[in-house]
A and B are shown apart, each in its own frame.
Chain A
Amino acid sequence: MADKKKIHFTLNGRPVDVLAEPRELLIHVLREQLGETGSHIGCETSHCGACTVDLDGESVKSCTVLAVQADGAEILTVEGLAKNGQLHPVQEGFMQEHALQCGFCTPGIMMRAYRLLAENPNPSESEIRVGLSGNLCRCTGYQNIVKAVQYAAAKLGASRSPG
């Protein structure tokens, strides 16, 4: 059994220190050691995207990242989307557009949508669908998820524009 490594990173704005075996997956460290259970596990072949988090400004599947690889990183998970009790426009959009049913895929999809909009503030529907191609949903059929992302794009755009 390998010695545990000291890993330090920023999670939702706060510094964390964990000890983890090299083989420990980032998703497990987030969920088990740090108690942030918002990110979920839906498969073991890196397809479903339920574990998606934002790592150093990029969407990644945290089940396919070793915790040790996150040393020194800045990580944002669903628990960090809302600020000061205020929901992020992505979260608002999901509720307004009925873009979730069982909610299991939702954190991963919202984290992906968050980064998608940061990279592409005015995506077309096709760009949204391709942008979400790393996230599976069984309940919604994606149509309302697309609308939720469009809602968030509009809201973010409005808050960005002057006057």
Chain B
Amino acid sequence: MIPTSFEYHAAKTVDEALALLDTYGEDGKILAGGQSLLPMMKLRLAEPRHVIDISKIAELRAVRELNGFLHIGAGVTEAGVIASELLRNKAPLIGETACQIGDPQIRNRGTIGGNLAHGDPGNDQPAVMMVLGASVTLRGKAGERSIPVDGFYSGFYSTQMKQGELLTGIRIAVPAAGSGHSYCKLKRKIGDFATAAAAVQLSLDKNGNCAQIGIALTNLAPVPLRVKDAEKLLVGKRISDELIEQAAQIAMSACDPAEDLHGPVDYRTHMAGEMTRRALREALSRAGRQ
């Protein structure tokens, strides 16, 4: 219940945060919403010596559309994501996913940046951002760089972020009009991590065939898992029930879930398939013609 002792620094700007990260190096840990970090610290699974609070940095809390791209500041809370009319209109998948993260109190504090940077395979937004083709913006002393979310995760709690870098935002190309989307999350109870979850974003061409599609899985491997083989199967084709079934089978083969108290491997593998099925059906039903 009680964290170990640490020094606390509240940054007012991104530059200040970077300077603090630079000063404290490996001893420094970013605190945004704290809904992942503080529970770990209370169980003493994380014992940072210096905590750098970025939750008051205004520039990290903006949601904007610019030149066909949506920009979400890393400090936007999941509640802020849900409340954003812009996101609801342009990329509703993100807010719908946020609704399935934690509970209201946690969503009031937990940030989308935290959900992406933390590296827990149970975090929900990574798979969603993958299927949206999003990129994360990382800023460090050397400057700013952009990395596609698909490829950002290298392992369990491990990302491409370098020491001294801060994840400042997410950039998403505005999905085409008439896109279909779905995030199907199987969980034991509301607020839990996914037993299995699948994210789908797709668009159809004027013939009703699949023009573009992203399929990714949450908590079914040490990292969020893009199921490219299933995407390849469906692109350019009319998505039939048979193809959905095949895609689900591919998802089942691709995933590598760990056994935990919410399900053994065979269950989670099959649920990878079922969530993929459901997400594909739902996304398809929502998609219009371009």
A and B touch in the complex (CB under 8 A): yes
Give the B-binding residues of A (Cβ under 8 A).
1-2, 5, 21-23, 25, 41, 44-47, 49, 52, 58-61, 63-66, 68-69, 71, 112, 116, 130-131, 133-134
Give the A-binding residues of B (Cβ under 8 A).
1-8, 10, 31, 34-35, 38-39, 41-43, 51, 53, 55, 79, 102-106, 108-109, 190-191
Is A46 a contact of B51 with CB atoms below 8 Å? no
16 more contacts with CB within 8 A, not counting A2-B8, A69-B34, are A23-B5, A44-B1, A45-B43, A46-B38, A52-B105, A58-B108, A59-B108, A60-B108, A63-B1, A64-B106, A65-B34, A66-B34, A68-B10, A133-B104, A133-B190, A134-B103
Is B191 a contact of A22 with CB atoms below 8 Å? no
Is A133 a contact of B103 with CB atoms below 8 Å? yes
Bound-complex Cα distance A1 to B5 (A) = 6
Bound-complex Cα distance A63 to B191 (A) = 17
Bound-complex Cα distance A64 to B43 (A) = 12
Partner of A23, one of B3, B43, B109, B191: B3
Bound-complex Cα distance A60 to B107 (A) = 9
Give the number of A-B contacts (CB < 8 Å).
84
Is A46 a contact of B7 with CB atoms below 8 Å? no
Is B191 a contact of A47 with CB atoms below 8 Å? yes
Q: What are 22 A-B contacts defined by CB distance under 8 Å?
A: A21-B5, A22-B6, A22-B7, A22-B8, A22-B51, A23-B2, A23-B6, A44-B1, A44-B42, A46-B35, A59-B105, A59-B108, A60-B108, A63-B1, A63-B42, A65-B38, A66-B34, A68-B8, A68-B10, A69-B34, A134-B102, A134-B106
Is B108 a contact of A133 with CB atoms below 8 Å? no
> Which residue on chain B has the smallest CB distance to residue A55?
B108
Is A61 a contact of B5 with CB atoms below 8 Å? no
With a cutoff of 8 Å between Cβ atoms, the chain B residues found around residue A61 in the complex are 105-106
Partner of B109, one of A2, A64, A71, A130: A64
With a cutoff of 8 Å between Cβ atoms, the chain B residues found around residue A41 in the complex are 1
> Which residue on chain A has the smallest CB distance to residue B55?
A69
With a cutoff of 8 Å between Cβ atoms, the chain B residues found around residue A45 in the complex are 39, 42-43
